[in-house]
Structure 1
Amino acid sequence: MAAGAAVGIAVTGAALTLADFDSPLRAPFTLFFLVAAPAAALGSALRGLDAAARAVLGVAGALALDLLVAQAMLALHIWSVRGGVAAVGLLSLLVLIPPLLVQARRPDRRRTAPQKNSGGG
């Protein structure tokens, strides 16, 4: 339930920024998106680690990604808030896709396990 609320807040923040809609919730929700989207994507790529390590590395990687996007946009003289949100969202999506593809290729162990007959006899 908390994950669904987090996704809703992040999507709302990105939508408010991309639509250039004035709202008191725009700044905090957008900041949440800028941290949560890349952190979740990086956390999904680090499946071999425990949950605490994935959270710490995901947030640290999210902050690094945000700073790299801002630095690159400033160096190229193309900085805008909407462009930054779009770039972070796109990069987060690109980081999220490979782990999802790997997971989709893995056979589901529940389907391949032999079924026991529960019939009486």
Structure 2
Amino acid sequence: MADDGVREYFAGKPRSYEIFSVLRALIEEQGDCAMSVGAQISFGARRKFAWIWLYNITGANPQGTVQIMLALGEPHEGPPVYRVTPIGKSRWNHLVVVHTLDEARDPRLAALIGAAHRYGS
């Protein structure tokens, strides 16, 4: 059922879907987690730890820009993180903007995804 939602979410956006597929594989490699599809696509284990969505879908940018938010127990500054936002006493959300497949395959992003999965487990 969730895969139907993913196909609908990325309908007409094959480049963004490719980037999402890489991110999804990185997330699912970490271990058990559940995916849900709504206005964004979220992943969680004991608690949600990753959210993916398309930003800035316009006539000039019909694919949109893939963004992933990762919840971590401590802040991690520097690439590939675009912005860190404190959410609570021991929770920071990390926004990563992913423009290309190479950026999706960045080992630093894979490490952040692993840390977020551990935080959510």
Q: Shared topology, TM-score over 0.5? A: no
Larger Rg, first or second structure (1 or 2): 1
TM-score in terms of structure 1 length: 0.29
- Which has more helix, going by share of residues? 1
Which protein has the bigger strand share?
A: 2
